[in-house]
């Protein structure tokens, strides 16, 4: 294999790796977007917003992802406090628009959605590994078979009962 073929081979592997990384990123982005929609639906329910649906929550989340992020960064460049306020108030604005509700209900829905996402990620990234590690640290159970076997002694022709683990006969 020549030098050019080797370089082409490595470029092919690099291209496939980059394509795989982009695919994984897009799949994770879609999964996280759907999770945000579910959390907003939970928040809207606890906030008492009427006429809530998956489509309205999806519209609020998509508007927040595209315009809210841009607006938060833009206002953050002007002044840090404006960026912080935009980070918290712009999603509430999109919730208010998509659900046609009051500011109080939109803020409550955003807070409840934020709490639901924190609880979910704590359970996912702390609770599950903790449960797995505790299940591994419990005492190991000895799984000895409870089956009895019969060994016939060659000399006396008597049947003896013993455990299957001790049923090894030694030649004389």
Integer angstrom CA distances of residue 107 from 36, 46, 53: 15, 11, 18
* Per-residue model confidence (pLDDT) at position 170: 52
* Per-residue model confidence (pLDDT) at position 84: 84
Distance between CA 97 and CA 61 in Å, rounded? Answer: 12
Distance between CA 132 and CA 141 in Å, rounded? Answer: 17
Angle at 10 between CA 7 and CA 15, to 5 degrees: 125
* Per-residue model confidence (pLDDT) at position 61: 94
* Per-residue model confidence (pLDDT) at position 4: 86
* Per-residue model confidence (pLDDT) at position 5: 86
pLDDT along the chain (172 residues), means of 10: 83 89 95 94 93 92 89 86 86 93 94 94 86 72 60 57 50 53
- Rounded to two decimals, the pTM is 0.65
The beta strand positions in the chain, using DSSP E, are 148-152, 159-163
* Per-residue model confidence (pLDDT) at position 10: 85
Q: What token pair was written down for 136?
A: 């591994």
Q: Report domain extents, the chain.
A: 3-137
| CB-CB contact of 60 with 110 (8 Å) | no
């Amino acid at each position: 294999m020549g030098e050019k073929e080797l370089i082409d081979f490595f470029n092919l592997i690099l291209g496939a790796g980059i394509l795989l990384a982009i695919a994984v990123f897009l799949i994770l982005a879609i999964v996280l977007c759907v999770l945000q929609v579910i959390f907003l639906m939970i928040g809207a329910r606890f906030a008492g917003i009427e006429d809530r649906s998956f489509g309205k929550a999806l519209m609020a989340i998509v508007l927040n992802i595209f315009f809210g992020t841009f607006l938060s960064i833009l206002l953050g460049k002007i002044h840090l406090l404006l960026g912080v306020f935009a980070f918290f108030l712009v999603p509430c604005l999109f919730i208010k628009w998509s659900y046609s509700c009051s500011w109080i209900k939109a803020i409550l829905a955003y807070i409840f959605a934020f709490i639901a996402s924190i609880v979910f990620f704590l359970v996912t990234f702390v609770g599950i590994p903790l449960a797995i590690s505790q299940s591994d640290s419990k005492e190991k159970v000895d799984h000895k078979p409870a089956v009895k076997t019969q060994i016939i002694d060659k000399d006396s022709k008597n049947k003896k009962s013993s455990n299957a683990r001790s049923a090894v006969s030694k030649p004389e």
